[in-house]
Chain A
Amino acid sequence: MKHVVIFGGNKDIVDLLVRLIANYPEFTASGFQDAQEVLAPGIPMDVLLLSSGVSPADEALVRDAVSVPIIQHFGGGSGLLRAELQPFL
């Protein structure tokens, strides 16, 4: 079981991605809109999924700070999500 952290500025899309990923048996997920929440100590993270609406500064901050694989998510919903996560199974 791998834990995906979703970081995005659009709460509705982040919530949707959390719900979709939670339906996959191989993954769990949590979502945040604030970079400091993503980087807070104790947040489990095997994969970071970057969604939309993140400022370049916050994206750079998070990219520099984490050491797990980072996926740039495109498209919003379920269409591409499975293919984006599949390589990390």
Chain B
Amino acid sequence: MTSYELHLAGSRGAADHGWLKSFHTFSFANYYEPKRIHFGALRVLNDDTVSGGMGFGQHPHDNMEIISIPLEGDLEHKDSMGNTTVINSGDIQVMSAGTGIYHSEYNRNKDATVKFLQIWVFPNKKNVTPRYDQITLNPADRVNQFEQILSPNPEDAGVWIHQDAWFHIGKFDAGVSAEYSIKKAGNGLYVFVLSGQVTVDGHAMASRDGLGIRDAASVSFSEMSQGAEILLMEVPMQL
């Protein structure tokens, strides 16, 4: 039987470090809520705003698939594999931390904030060779449909990670309905509303609300507001 776990935007953990304001859907850093540790393989969903010129200094990661989705502004990335890049709104960045990777992420602009989602997914194998990738998405591909932006397959659309996970993003006109079919039996779907309002299987959701759905074969989206933008994260529920 399908079950639903609604996380309203205001119920997320909030952190204000001055230069960084972050909302944590799941327990992270000083935010600890035993009922909000993870949704299957989805362990971190941080909604970060970084002040102009500021950022995360060099720090390590291991054994985690780390996905960054900029929503506004430009983020400068440097890592221990020699990559120096800038990711902009409309890009998606992925790192497989594996045996260990160091990186820094800075707001490239001194006079504008950067907003981005930081998403961590448990890998399906430990100690892989670290890797980095980023691609630019075409905004037209997500209009009134869900565009695949991440999968387990290097040959498939979007970036890929070491996990049986699929991410999609869509931006909808008012009144449009949509359906999402689970790609792998047993996977769950975490719905995160980036902006606007939508009803998901009868659950009314607004900007930055999250909904974890288990044991569903498909999920329906209706009553969209104009410009409603939705991120879907399908992940294994068994670790």
- A interface list, Cβ under 8 A from B: 8-10, 12-13, 16, 51-54, 73-80, 82-83, 86-87
**B interface list, Cβ under 8 A from A:** 27-30, 32, 34, 37, 43-44, 59-64, 97-102, 120, 122, 126-127
Q: Which residue of A lies closest to B61 (CB)?
A: A76
* Chain A interface, >50% SS class: loop
A30 CB to nearest B CB, Å: 19
Measured CB to CB, the closest approach of chain B to A62, in angstroms, equals 14
The answer, among B34, B37, B60, for a CB contact under 8 Å with A77, is B60
**B98: chain A residues within 8 A (beta carbon):** 52
Report whether B43 and A10 are in contact in the complex, using a CB–CB cutoff of 8 Å. no
Q: How far is the CA of A15 from the CA of B122 in the complex (A)?
A: 22
Of B27, B34, B62, B122, the residue contacting A10 (CB under 8 A) is: B62
* Residue of A9, A16, A52, A73 ringed by the most chain B CB atoms within 10 A: A52
Closest to B27 in A: A83
Closest B residue to A76 using CB positions: B61
Subset of 14 A-B contacts with CB under 8 Å: A52-B98, A52-B126, A53-B99, A54-B127, A74-B62, A74-B64, A76-B61, A76-B100, A77-B60, A79-B44, A82-B27, A83-B28, A86-B34, A87-B34
Known: A10-B100, A13-B60, A52-B62. A75 touches B32 (CB 8 A): no
Query: Is the pair A76, B64 in contact by a Cβ cutoff of 8 Å?
Result: yes
Using known A-B contacts A78-B29, A83-B28, A86-B32, determine if residue A12 contacts B100 with beta carbons closer than 8 Å.
Answer: yes
Bound: A75/B27 CA distance, A: 13
Q: Which residues of A contact B59 (CB under 8 A)?
A: 76-77
A8 neighbours in B (Cβ, 8 Å)? 62
> In the assembly, what is the distance between CA of A86 and CA of B98, in Å?
24
Residues A80 and B44 in contact, CB atoms below 8 Å apart = yes
Cβ contact within 8 Å between A53 and B127: yes
A80 and B43 form a contact (CB under 8 A)? yes
Q: Are A16 and B64 in contact (CB under 8 A)?
A: no
